[in-house]
Chains A and B, each alone.
Chain A
Amino acid sequence: MSWLTNLLRPDGQARLAPETSPALSGQAPATAQAFDTPASDGPLGGPVWLPLVEPDAAGRFLSGLGLDRIFYAPDLVVVTGWSAGAATLALEGPVGPIAPDVRVNVPRPDVSAAYAFAGPVHGFLLAFRDPPASACLVARAGAERMRRSEIAQFPADRLEPDLGRILAEYAAARGPLFDALRSTPAYLAAVARAAAPASRPGAPLGHMDIVKAVPGAGGLCIGWSLGQADLHLVDEAGNWQSLASAMRWNRGDIFDGFAGDYGAACADAGFLQALPTPLGPGHMVRLLARDGDDLVLLHERVVEAAPLDPVGYARWSFGLPVPAEQMVERFSRHDGAVLRTLITRAHEHGSPPPMVRRAGRVPAEPEVSLLIPLFGRYDFVEHQLLEFADDPFIRDRCEIIYVVDDPGISAPVLAALDMWWQLYGVPITVVWGGRNRGFSGANNLGLSLARGRQVLFLNSDVVPMAPGWLEALSRRLDDHPEFGLLGTRLLFPSGGVQHDGMTFEFNGTYGVWLNQHPGKGLPAEDAIPGTVREWPAATGACLIADRAEIAALGGFSEAYLIGDFEDSDLCLKVEASGRRVGVCPDIALTHLERQSFGMHGTGEFRMRVMLFNAWLHQERWRGAIERHAASWGEEMPA
């Protein structure tokens, strides 16, 4: 205890706090020489007060109280010291003593030995959150001796400015203080800094494999831990995140490596936890365990930068080893919000002006603008043109807009434009948006350039079967003004139903509402010519609408990742605007479903993109989805 040596310094007396109590005036340690210990390189400063002791008639010390350090800030007071016998220290406010938020006692054999108290000496640490400004420290030793000082009046040079020094001395206080100071980042950071690794066998273990974040958007920490302690992440600024709600899964490597020491507690060692937004790249993050009263440092690591682009972030973060069945829970409790922020942010960057190229003459006032995004493959174009070429309504009275949404194909598509016109004689407009915008963005770009009275959203892998279908579909929309969106029947190449209207179905495995195509794969049912059948939603692979109306609704939502659920989102939006959604089962086209998505990588990634979008879709439309599902007799989730 370095303060003891301070007492013996020549100038030690000068550093004593001013006497605030006449009763204590002139007190000095009676046996100062007894404290003679080797000099230490400890801090300057020292006991705030000289110890208050009560000797008996024989000069032996009955009780005593030492005040070692005071950390004082308007919102926190931490006091350390020792007491022996009946001595007490209290913080008293206007209405009496204040109960400390934290009280930690430790044995102080050193003091006991130095003063030769009859009984044991207890070291103590008291912490008070937000004490009254007029609070006073009151020390009592026996009935006679008392010292009192208003805490705000202590001169700065008698106070301990570094909470860390106190924490270094009181290991047992780190845990309780960590709990008590959770909401005050500056103090929490000091507590976290004081945490030390544990050496006790069976103590908590843990490691952060990955800590990555995007500035201002949040991030992820992935790692593993062993032991029963509560885990926390704290960075140097005191930003805190509990791991109590982390995603957990079993890690075979950890289980195999540590089962000998940790037994069954090795199960579900893997964790994934979203980082709070302020925790950005460059910050040092500590993984801490609250183990009894101790705060154990498990691992520390600097936060790295996560991909800024939403698709890049998804590619990185969806590959982390969270089982697919837990992804929706993960989005909901962890980084779904991060991805939403990145998607929103990507749209804020603005886009270069689109490049528009035309071949052939488009009518001044087209009946329908066909909006067809191209991504990955573009060989479908010729198959569509082969059909459009033989359809006078499309060839002569409509506007065909291919929206290139893939930098990898923009050059060859633009280069092929004139040849397509030469070979098929169908006027074509090709739009290149300068970057990948996703299904919604590409369609919305096309929508912004379309001149048709109506718009048809069409996938490039949907191929008509015979001329006349679009004229029929356009008229059908005119004849059914209560409908805001009309889809068509789509068939697989082998002839079964690919789409005949969409419903919503809760998937218990993934814990999320998904879009369903009833009858998918089966032979199509008979269709009554000229009819419209109302559905909760219809696929965006082929969907007609009034252009002004759909533009007023903002087109497709661009909140989704890559492409999924934008169509049902649009359908629900149209429904929310008071219109209906239907399908014309007698108008059928061929759909080579998913052929154009091959560029997006493995099925596993696509699956997780779908789950993210499903989660987002559910966040946005849960009420409407459940109402539709109930009316369709779908089972509701428990």
Chain B
Amino acid sequence: MIGTVLVIAHGHRDFSAGGAEVAAHQLFTTLRDQGMTRKVALLARHGGTAPSGLVTVLREDEYLWRTGMSDWFRFRSAVRDSVTGPFRSFLARLKPDIVFVHHYAHMGLEMLREIRRTCPSARIVLTLHEFQAICHNNGQMVKRGSRELCFEETLQACNACFPEHSEEDFWLRKHFIQRHLDAVDRFVAPSEFLRQRYISWGLAPEKITMIENGQPAGPRLPPRALPADGRRNRFAYFGQVTPFKGVDVLLTALTGLTRKQRKEIQVEIHGANLEIQEEGFRGRIEALRRPLMEEGVLHWPGAYHRDDLQRRMARIDWVVVPSVWWENSPVVIQEALRFGRPLLCSNIGGMAEHVRDGLDGLHVGVGNAADWGETLLTAGDPERWERLYRSMKAPVPLESAARQYLDWAQGTVEGIPDVPRRPAARIAGTV
């Protein structure tokens, strides 16, 4: 049996319910509850105005690391002596055999080399949740200040997005990140799409695998009860309302339909965090949503607690994911699959990969309001909906995902070719 496993996350699910935090917490609880290892601990970074740098106890086997990050260009810790002090002591006491790291944002890359230094024989597995290492634009791989998708980072392209950082700065950024990732034994990508992006960027293909985020097992919801001649015309968006999530595309699509067409449709936005977005974006959303809400086609129930998700999904037919960036493995897709709600999603990246067109849902042209409008109108067909409901795959169960994590971490060292470090000059990938 495996000895001690440490799961590190950049936030604790109790205080921050982002996809990566939830995935890390689920991995921790699954390993613990299923008794898959002798011991498992969770270390979640916890912010605050002036992080003390200490590692403190939240509850049994759950710890909070009071740290932060100041340099978002190179992902350097704001509390470096916390890495070489309390974090080092924590590792030295716990002596983990496997460390699953679910992010480095908010904590800094230094911890990776620190784990390698203090636990030389531990297996370090890093799950990459987005493209932060590749793209300075919030890891979105979308050209800054626009909706133009970015297909490959280069020193020149990154400098074009951020003229305040020279090409050399971007080389240094990549150098700093890659030399710290050298301390990692294996990487996990929750989508093949993301895996390929990181391989293009410079990770050895042998060192990175795709493991889906798990979902609790359980029966899916029955279809929403329809009146006679009723249509599958209730669409819901779940998640944050940010410029990258495409809610504005969805609202524009609705606006572009005729009033008569809109009478056939009901859209719900179960969206959070609109209030913390930029003013320009807020104004745009406000202007789009007010007439639609007055007309009754749009409902805005707002943020929800995860315990309430099942009830909310029971009332709708479709889950929409109109993101205008690539996405990786949005939790909402896993949840829709779990509850049996077909998806409408943008036809790119992690969305297109996880939602099989015509089986799990339908693909819509990314950012294309006309396409979205037509799709909303035609999706009401109950027969097609029924076919999708039947053909939808089930998400990967938590136990299965956790088992895959353990297998990947434990895989014999000989099984992984010793990959030579890439020449630094090729970091740019432009030679």
Binding site for B on A (CB under 8 A): 379-380, 382-383, 386-387, 390, 419, 422-425, 461, 463-466, 491-495, 523, 588, 590, 592, 595
Contact = CB atoms under 8 A, between A and B. Distances in A.
A494 B84 contact: no
B167 A493 contact: yes
Contacts of B168: 461, 493, 592, 595
B163 interface: no
A560 to B, nearest CB: 25
A531 B99 CA distance: 45
Interface of B: 80-81, 83-84, 110, 113-114, 117, 155-156, 166-168, 171-172, 175-176, 179-180, 182, 420-421, 423-428, 430-431
A491 B425 contact: yes
Given A423-B113, A465-B424, A592-B171, A493 B155 contact: yes
Give 3 closest A-B pairs by Cβ, nearest first: A495-B431, A493-B171, A422-B84
Contacts of A423: 80, 83-84, 110, 113-114
21 contacts: A379-B172, A383-B172, A383-B175, A386-B179, A390-B179, A422-B81, A422-B84, A423-B113, A461-B168, A463-B424, A466-B420, A491-B425, A493-B155, A493-B171, A493-B425, A494-B167, A494-B428, A494-B430, A590-B424, A590-B425, A595-B166
Nearest to B81: A419
A590 B424 CA distance: 7
Contacts of B423: 465-466, 588
Given A383-B175, A592-B172, A494 B424 contact: no
B16 to A, nearest CB: 27
Nearest to B424: A465
Given A383-B175, A495-B430, A464 B80 contact: no
Nearest to B423: A465
Contacts of B420: 466
Contacts of B421: 466
Contact of B176 (A386, A390, A419, A425): A386
Contacts of A494: 155-156, 167, 171, 425, 428, 430-431
Nearest to B170: A493
B175 A386 contact: yes
A461 to B, nearest CB: 8
Contacts of B180: 386
Contacts of B167: 493-494
Contact of A493 (B83, B84, B427): B427
Contacts of A390: 179, 182
A169 to B, nearest CB: 71
Contacts of B430: 494-495
Given A390-B182, A422-B84, A465 B431 contact: no
A595 B175 CA distance: 16
A489 B83 CA distance: 36
Nearest to A379: B172
Contacts of A492: 425
Interface of A is mostly: mixed
Contact of B171 (A464, A523, A590): A590
A493 B175 CA distance: 10
Given A419-B84, A423-B113, A382 B426 contact: no
A382 B75 CA distance: 13
Given A494-B171, A494-B431, 9 more contacts: A383-B179, A419-B84, A423-B113, A465-B423, A494-B156, A588-B423, A592-B171, A592-B172, A595-B168
A310 to B, nearest CB: 29
Contacts, number: 71
A566 to B, nearest CB: 23
Contacts of B81: 419, 422
A493 B156 CA distance: 11
A26 B424 CA distance: 108
B297 to A, nearest CB: 52
Contacts of A466: 420-421, 423-424
A465 B267 CA distance: 54
Contacts of A419: 80-81, 84
Nearest to A590: B424
A423 B76 CA distance: 12
B110 A495 contact: no
Contact of B175 (A422, A424, A463): A463
Contacts of B424: 463-466, 590
Nearest to B110: A423
Contacts of A493: 155, 167-168, 171, 425, 427-428
Contacts of A491: 425
A523 B420 CA distance: 22
Nearest to A593: B168
A85 B225 CA distance: 142
B311 to A, nearest CB: 49
Nearest to A385: B179
Nearest to A492: B425
B148 to A, nearest CB: 22
Contact of A495 (B83, B113, B114, B425): B425
Nearest to B114: A423
A297 to B, nearest CB: 55
Q: Which of A380, A424, A493 has the most C-beta atoms of chain B within 10 angstroms of its own C-beta?
A: A493
Given A419-B84, A466-B423, A495 B176 contact: no
A470 to B, nearest CB: 15
Contacts of A422: 81, 84
Nearest to B431: A495
A62 to B, nearest CB: 94
A383 B110 CA distance: 13
Contacts of A383: 172, 175-176, 179
A465 B425 CA distance: 7
A261 B57 CA distance: 90
Contacts of A464: 424
A478 to B, nearest CB: 25
A463 B425 CA distance: 10
B317 to A, nearest CB: 51
A491 B81 CA distance: 34
Contacts of B83: 423
Contacts of A590: 171, 424-425
Nearest to B182: A390
B120 to A, nearest CB: 12
B114 to A, nearest CB: 8
Contacts of A386: 175-176, 179-180
Contact of A588 (B117, B172, B425): B425
Contacts of B171: 493-494, 590, 592
B124 to A, nearest CB: 16
A363 B76 CA distance: 31
B316 to A, nearest CB: 50
Contacts of A495: 425-426, 428, 430-431
A379 B71 CA distance: 12
B176 A382 contact: yes
A620 B325 CA distance: 61
